[in-house]
Chain A
Amino acid sequence: MKTTVDVQEIKKFQDMAAEWWDPTGKFKPLHMLNPCRLDYINSQIAYEFDRDLTENLPFEGLKVLDIGCGGGLLSEPMARLGAEVVGADAAERNIKVAKVHAEEAALDIDYKHTTAEDLVSDGMKFDVILNMEVVEHVSDPLTFITACQQLLNEGGLMVCSTINRNPKSYIMAIIGAEHVMRWLPKGTHEWKKFIKPNELYEYIELSGLTPVDKKGFVFNPFLWSWSLSKKDLSVNYVTASVNKS
């Protein structure tokens, strides 16, 4: 099986998987970031597919792939909003945790222990791919994003977020989040695998997708919450790209 998955990275997340759904536990930063990520994802989907977010089940009829779904922090909201969701993760324990949790929540989500490359081999197609906080963990981002492009229907949307690579992101994401705040276990991130926005745009374009938007996720230590920023992409950021025919 041809794969871009980094074996050591999988092991790291397997150790953490049971804690996925504890908002005060090891994945606290993701839980804190989640409303902001969802606001971005939802508004991009609503725009591309002309959906009204104030209606019930606005994403009905859309096929969504949550690649690197972890415990299902994004898969579950997508399912609640009416989408037909496949959650894929290369770590088997994540899939087990996600399945148990979705069952408790009475949500119908197709969780698969698989990779983007294998989904391509299976001939799967989606309207939306959520590729969130994953590219900085794979061994070959371009091959990975190219697989995502192959999984998208024509007119499909990929939302992709990662962490910028600069001195500030080293201080914030590695020293701050892992060493000072201990939000994440030490070694969660490797700084050299972080990706600059222009590099990500290049990967996206090389894959055949067209980037249409980028925003920063900015943490405000006074309000203790995250918000979207048009200008500040210095640490966490997100992009939207479409698969034009």
Chain B
Amino acid sequence: MDNHKFSRLHITMMYNSDIVIIGSGLNGLTLSLVLGTTGLKVALVDGNTLATDYLSNQKFDGKAYALTIASQRLLKAVNIWPALKKNAQPILDIKVTDGHPGAGPSPFIMHFNHNEIGDDPIAYMVEDRHLRQGFNDRINVSNNIMRFNGNVIDNKLENNENQVFLENGDIINTKVILACDGRGSPTAKRAGILFRNKNYQQQALVTALEHEKNHNGVAHQFFMPLGPLAILPLRKNNSSIVWVLSKEVGEQTSKLNNNDFLEKLRPAFGNFLGDIKVSGERFSYPLNLITADSFTGERLALVGDAAHSIHPLAGQGFNQGIRDIATIAEVLVDAYRRGEDIGTKNVLNRYSAWRRFDSKSLSSSTDFFNTLFSNDNSYLRLGRNLGMGLINNTSLLKQFLIREATGLTGDQPRLLQGITL
């Protein structure tokens, strides 16, 4: 009995850190690395052991993100881009096509070539495993980032600090908590932050395909009556696809085996890349737009999916997270170097004021495009066919859309201009 008691004894440790980042997903990893390079002390906390002890040489699962030029600049500024670029696939063109049911692609094709904005590719496809590996390798050798493996059970304001309580009894005192704990953020819930939820009654199916012919670096967006299908080039003869279907059809389709899934996909996908087979894991998730009523709380800021998550139509989820990261990092580092208390309302409000407009505009424009294109209404169809033709011939509007897709619009934080903090 005594032995049992003894084994339960845990010496509670008290730590101090300028910043506590909760959640070591992609946003938490990126934010830790960015802040860790500025001299601020960062505690990165996650209860998921897979996230903390990330194994090297994970096998291909098809999960990948289209990183915009702006996102690449941030990764360049913290000097991790060269390592990622080695395994990345450039997107050289985006072709947007409107499809009739069973009639193949419409003749009105919008075509974005990277030469219209400069010499660089429009975006790079980077696999999830390569991103996690790259970030973890850097973070684990950083002197400014301390990792904690354990769930956060609570946090409390104490004088001019926020105290973070871990499940093992350890406490971290910090100036500010940055919640990167994703959609439905438990940290945001604890702070009483409310969310607006818009359910699209749609299901997104995500996987990777291997195809016979090479994609030549071209990304496709097919707007089909069932819903949009995005085809994004991966390395070699692989592409990542995001297929958005109605809730019922999507749920049914997600349950099909690979062969039946391909049978269903082929009419939408077409045969322009030759024969196709499933090469990645298959993921399926409902689409809903969730936005926090407030991006900040007392000595707390929400970052990435914890603040807002949009459906993946524009492939902008992680890019949006990177914009949050560039903004909060600049606000905090500038305040720190100015001698301000980085956790005050005064400082955190600069982040929410800067981000709010931007995330709203992207969420609502993606929302608008999806509604417009996934509706099989002939008047809308005529309108959008004409619209596409017009957009294609109106270089100013097209340049705006392509700049939006590359993340080059809006008031840019320094990191998104490639300037080191």
Tell me the A residues contacting B by CB distance below 8 Å. Answer: 23-24, 31, 34-35, 38-39, 42, 53-56, 76-81, 104-106
Q: Across the two chains, which residue of chain A brings its CB closest to B38?
A: A54
Stretch from B102-110, B204-212, B334-342 forming part of the interface with A: B334-342
A31: chain B residues within 8 A (beta carbon): 346
A76: chain B residues within 8 A (beta carbon): 339, 341
Binding site of B, secondary structure by majority: helix, strand, loop or mixed? loop
Q: Measured between C-beta atoms, what is the minimum distance from A15 to chain B in Å?
A: 23
Q: How many of chain B's residues have a CB under 8 angstroms from any CB in A?
A: 14
Query: Given contacts A23-B344, A23-B345, is CB(A80)–CB(B339) below 8 Å?
Result: yes
Q: Is the CB of B339 within 8 A of A78?
A: yes
What per-residue 1/0 map shows which CB atoms of B339-354 lie under 8 Å from chain A?
A: 1110011100000000
Q: Is the CB of B39 within 8 A of A54?
A: yes
A54: chain B residues within 8 A (beta carbon): 38-39, 337
How many Å lie between the Cα of A81 and that of B339 in the bound state? 6
B345: chain A residues within 8 A (beta carbon): 23-24
A34: chain B residues within 8 A (beta carbon): 340, 346
How many Å lie between the Cα of A23 and that of B348 in the bound state? 12
A79: chain B residues within 8 A (beta carbon): 339
Q: Across the two chains, which residue of chain B brings its CB closest to A58?
A: B337
B339: chain A residues within 8 A (beta carbon): 38, 42, 76-81
Q: Is the CB of B338 within 8 A of A39?
A: yes
**A31-B346, A35-B340, A76-B339 given; 13 more Cβ-contact pairs under 8 Å:** A23-B345, A24-B345, A34-B340, A42-B337, A53-B337, A54-B38, A54-B337, A77-B339, A77-B340, A78-B339, A80-B340, A106-B159, A106-B160
Tell me the B residues contacting A by CB distance below 8 Å. Answer: 38-39, 159-160, 334-335, 337-341, 344-346
Q: Across the two chains, which residue of chain B brings its CB closest to A28?
A: B346
- A-B contact list, 7 entries, CB within 8 Å: A31-B346, A42-B338, A42-B339, A54-B337, A78-B339, A80-B340, A105-B160
How many Å lie between the Cα of A56 and that of B339 in the bound state? 10
Q: Across the two chains, which residue of chain B brings its CB closest to A224?
A: B353
Q: Across the two chains, which residue of chain B brings its CB closest to A23?
A: B346
How many Å lie between the Cα of A80 and that of B334 in the bound state? 13
How many Å lie between the Cα of A54 and that of B159 in the bound state? 27
How many Å lie between the Cα of A38 and that of B338 in the bound state? 6
Q: Across the two chains, which residue of chain B brings its CB closest to A83?
A: B339
A80: chain B residues within 8 A (beta carbon): 339-341
With beta carbons under 8 angstroms apart, the residue of B39, B337, B341, B346 that contacts A105 is: B341
B160: chain A residues within 8 A (beta carbon): 104-106
With beta carbons under 8 angstroms apart, the residue of B39, B159, B340 that contacts A38 is: B340
B340: chain A residues within 8 A (beta carbon): 34-35, 38, 77, 80
B39: chain A residues within 8 A (beta carbon): 54-56
How many Å lie between the Cα of A81 and that of B340 in the bound state? 9
Q: Measured between C-beta atoms, what is the minimum distance from B260 to chain A in Å?
A: 56
Closest 9 CB pairs of A and B: A77-B339, A80-B339, A81-B339, A23-B346, A38-B338, A104-B159, A105-B160, A104-B160, A53-B337
B335: chain A residues within 8 A (beta carbon): 35
A53: chain B residues within 8 A (beta carbon): 337
B338: chain A residues within 8 A (beta carbon): 35, 38-39, 42, 77
A56: chain B residues within 8 A (beta carbon): 39
Q: Across the two chains, which residue of chain A brings its CB closest to B345?
A: A23
How many Å lie between the Cα of A27 and that of B344 in the bound state? 15
Q: Across the two chains, which residue of chain B brings its CB closest to A105?
A: B160
Q: Across the two chains, which residue of chain A brings its CB closest to B340?
A: A77
Q: Across the two chains, which residue of chain B brings its CB closest to A39?
A: B338
How many Å lie between the Cα of A35 and that of B336 in the bound state? 11
How many Å lie between the Cα of A34 and that of B39 in the bound state? 23
How many Å lie between the Cα of A54 and that of B341 in the bound state? 16
Q: Measured between C-beta atoms, what is the minimum distance from B267 to chain A in Å?
A: 52
Q: Measured between C-beta atoms, what is the minimum distance from A10 to chain B in Å?
A: 27
How many Å lie between the Cα of A244 and that of B304 in the bound state? 52
Q: Measured between C-beta atoms, what is the minimum distance from B156 to chain A in Å?
A: 15
Q: Across the two chains, which residue of chain A brings its CB closest to B40?
A: A56
Q: Measured between C-beta atoms, what is the minimum distance from A116 to chain B in Å?
A: 23
A42: chain B residues within 8 A (beta carbon): 337-339
How many Å lie between the Cα of A34 and that of B345 in the bound state? 14
